[in-house]
Amino acid sequence: MKKYTTLLFLIVLIGCKKNTNDQSQENNTTYYVKYVIDGMSSIQQTNSTGLKITLTDEKNTSVDYIRSNRGSNEFIIGPVKKGFKSSITGTNVCCPLCCYIRPNVQIYVSESNGPFVLKKEDMSTQLRDNVQIDYTIL
């Protein structure tokens, strides 16, 4: 009986051992971030340089783009690692009272070249001059 108890204890102990390969695979996981933004301006107020987009790139620096305040803009950055803080800001840069925007923004994340999954969004229909969202990969 003592042999069986010792054998059972060893099986449980071996089964509970932490696999270091799983940890190293987790540390090597790469992610890609997709930012999507649309100024949602009316057709009558479209301006080709009416929207300033600021986003965090894979080097963890802020990058600015000037785009139309109407139509979807998509940016994919990466690879990045767990803990990366993604951030996107959209700002109305039309002259005062020249155009109005209802900016919509989304952040998607892809893990290990898998499909992009929506992580955060702001799809408000309110007129506003700027919008900002961020998401940290956990």
Determine the Cα–Cα distance for residues 11 and 14; give it in Å rounded to an integer. Answer: 5
- Structural domains of the chain, ranges and CATH numbers in brackets: 30-136 (2.60.40)
Per run of 10 residues, the mean pLDDT along the chain (length 138 residues) is 55 54 67 97 87 97 96 97 97 85 96 96 94 97
What are the E-state strand segments in 11-129? Answer: 31-38, 51-56, 62-67, 72-80, 85-92, 104-111, 117-122
**Sign of CA pseudo-dihedral 9, 14, 15, 18:** positive
pLDDT at 98: 82
pLDDT at 30: 96
pLDDT at 23: 53
Q: pTM of the predicted model, to two decimals?
A: 0.80
